[in-house]
Amino acid sequence: MPAPIRIALCCLAAAFSLAACQPAAPDVSPPAAPTVSQPVAAAADEELRAYQGDVPGAALLVIHDGEAVVRRGFGLADLETARAVTPATAFRLASISKQFTATAVLLLAQDGVLSIDDPARRWLPELPASADAVTLRHLLSHTSGLLDYEDLMDPADTRQVHDADVLDLVSRENGGYFDPGTGYRYSNSGYALLALIVERASGQRYADFLRERIFLPLGMDSVAFEDGRSQVPERAFGYSFIDEAWQRTDQSTTSAVLGDGGIYASIDDLARWDAALYDDRLLHDPWRTLAVTPATATDEPDVAGYGFGWRLQDGLQWHSGESIGFRNVILRWPAQRLTVVLLTNRNDPEPYALARRVAARWQ
């Protein structure tokens, strides 16, 4: 064999050998959507009949055994332009955002930058002395006893508040609902403060930290939305049924607070997020397990315990998200490899019961 050909073949063999040794790039694609059977498609249409047509819509995702067996949009994302909801439409997640805030804190704990048992005042010294015993664990699990910022806002002030404003409001109060760790009370204040702690511990803006440490690595187009600073691709706008007509009610005075509810995401984004909850691409064990381990009992219906950003009940991990113009829910049964996500851009109804009915078809 001539020398040039022999050298070329050796180089080609070496290249194939080197490629075989390289680790596979993480799969950031959403689960493939197989051809949906006619009965499944008909069942989805029937369940979501109220979201079809020229009305505020919904996006439905069902993942079973790693496949997106339902991945569909219904109705409209924007009534004014008649833009339809698709799997890429981004909805304001409201309190579903809390699991991303919790994951940001746990990533910093995993990095050794902070501890979830740090006193909150280590990172937020502006908090009053009455918060001395409050830890990050208390904030994550709604056991801090801190006052809810929505109860502290001036009802005559129509300006939007931000996470830093939440700290200012809470810091003026000397006392809480109960001593830290002695009770459970769902707290939007706690998660707004956690977003600020992420900023101070990481040295990055909260929205940038989420983008660089969670969204980009997973291939998500999600964004912690800041008006005038960021854009939401394929954004859905929120509506309420008022005076016998749908009216846009997309923002309230609390809609600019990021840590407790300011993330926009699509069902395709949440398919990627769901996949990452099964492996170590973001959080490693025991951190991933810690997030979905009951940290405290609750008195909420359908919730035996609360972890860090997750409600927990009989093998179900779930969270709802309600804000003006949006009602959402994510349900996960990891043992059954089943996830249902239902995102809607309307003020009513809450979609938990509907999502449970959808899930029952695969249980």
Q: Is 249 helix (H, G, I), strand (E, B) or coil?
A: coil
Helix 163-171 with 188-202: angle, nearest 10 deg = 110
Neighbours of 173 (CB within 10 A): 17
- 3-state secondary structure at position 291: helix
**Distance from C-alpha of 63 to C-alpha of 85, rounded to nearest angstrom:** 19
Which has the higher per-residue pLDDT, 10 or 298?
Answer: 298
Cβ distance 346 to 260 under 8 Å? no
Exposure class string for 60-97: b at 16+ Cβ within 10 A, else e: bbbbbeeebbbbbbbbbbbbeeebebbbebbbbbbbbb
- For residue 295, the model assigns a pLDDT of 97
pTM above threshold 0.85: yes
pLDDT tens across 48-104, in order? 999 999 999 999 999 999 999 999 999 999 999 999 999 999 999 999 999 999 999
* 124 SS3 class: coil
Q: Give φ, ψ of 350 to 5 degrees.
A: -70, 135
Strands 245-248 and 239-242: antiparallel
What amino acid is encoded at 144 in this protein? S
Q: pLDDT band for 15, please (50, 70, 90 cuts).
A: very low
Under a CB-based contact definition with an 8 Å cutoff, are residues 235 and 203 in contact?
no
Q: Which CATH architecture has domain 38-362?
A: 3-Layer(aba) Sandwich (3.40)
Q: What are phi and psi of 224, to 5 degrees?
A: -85, 105
Say which residues have a Cβ less than 8 Å from residue 93's Cβ, sequence separation at least 6.
261, 263, 264, 265, 321, 326, 328, 343
Q: Which of helix, strand or coil describes residue 302? A: coil
**Is residue 264's pLDDT more than 80?**
yes
Q: Which two tokens stand for residue 26?
A: 């993480």
Q: Output the six-digit token pair for 296.
A: 């405290």
Structural domain boundaries in the chain: 38-362
CA 19 – CA 23 distance, rounded (Å): 9
Q: What is the pLDDT of residues 179-204, one digit of tens each?
A: 999 999 999 999 999 999 999 999 99
pLDDT confidence of residue 44: 81
Task: Quickly state the pLDDT bin for 29 (edges 50, 70, 90).
Answer: low
Q: Is 310 helix (H, G, I), strand (E, B) or coil?
A: coil
Q: In angstroms, how far is CA 51 from the centroid of its own chain? A: 22
Instruction: Round to whole Å and give the CA distance between 141 and 306.
Output: 6
The answer to whether 303 touches 312, Cβ cutoff 8 Å, is: yes
Asked if residue 359 has pLDDT above 60, the reply is yes
Q: State the catalytic residue, choosing from 37, 95, 141, 240.
A: 95
Q: What's the longest Cα–Cα distance across the chain?
A: 88
Tokens linked to 304: 């035996």
Does the annotation mark 95 as catalytic? yes
Least confident of 21-25, 156-160, 265-269: 21-25
Of residues 345, 344, 96, the one with CA closest to residue 354:
344
> Binning pLDDT at 50, 70 and 90, where does residue 45 land?
confident
More confident residue, 224 or 32: 224
For residues 311-328, give the mean pLDDT.
97
Mean of per-residue pLDDT scores for the chain: 91
- pLDDT of 38 reads 65
Residue 335: the pLDDT is: 97
> What is the spatial distance between Cα 64 and Cα 67, in angstroms, rounded to a whole number?
5
The tokens describing 193, both together, are: 């403060």
* Distance, CA of 354 to CA of 94 (rounded, Å): 18
Expressed in angstroms, the distance from the first to the final Cα of the chain is: 63
